[in-house]
Amino acid sequence: MSKNFTVKYKNEILGTIDVNNYTFNPNDRCDRRFLPRQLRHTRATKKDVLEFLESRIVQRDNQGIRGIVRSLGLDSYNPISIISKTKGMDLNDCIWVTSNPSEDYYEVHIRENPDKYVKKIGL
């Protein structure tokens, strides 16, 4: 049984990532200009999918990575586990990753709910 992530632009489903095989299946009805650069290829490779996922999380060479990983309740740096916890959210855009395709951007995204996250990230 494979685990899938849904890649969204706000609430528009851009496609799904099969985490076991590191494949991306684009939504044929999505506006392709919203697809992240790494996933725009006709057939995104495993390297493209991994590059996309890692671009959505704190980098492994971050000086405070041990503390960040611990604060997420994880034992080690694992991109899939970090994405599961953070949804790949970024303040710079409206793209995010979820394991629940029916999850609503306006209820969970940090851009829309900063007060929910400020205490957690220590701003």
- Sign of the Cα pseudo-torsion (69, 58, 43, 29, in order): positive
Domain range spanning residue 41? 4-121
How would you classify residue 40: left for phi > 0, otherwise alpha for psi between -120 and 50, otherwise beta? alpha
The Cα 109–Cα 90 span in angstroms is 9
Cβ burial, residue 49 (10 Å; 0-12/13-18/19+): buried
Query: Please, what sign has the CA dihedral across residues 95, 101, 103, 108?
Result: negative
Reported as a single tens digit per residue, the pLDDT across 15-49 is: 999 999 999 999 999 888 889 999 998 789 999 99
pLDDT at 123 over 50: no
* Contacts for 105-108: CB closer than 8 Å, 24+ residues apart: 105/8, 105/10, 105/11, 106/10, 106/11
119 pLDDT tier (thresholds 50, 70, 90): low
CA max distance for the chain: 41
Give the pLDDT score at 91. Answer: 86
Quick one: pLDDT band at residue 110, thresholds 50, 70, 90? confident
Q: How far apart are CA 20 and CA 115, in angstroms?
A: 34
Overall number of domains in the chain: 1
Q: What beta strand segments (E) does the chain contain?
A: 4-9, 12-18, 23-26, 95-98
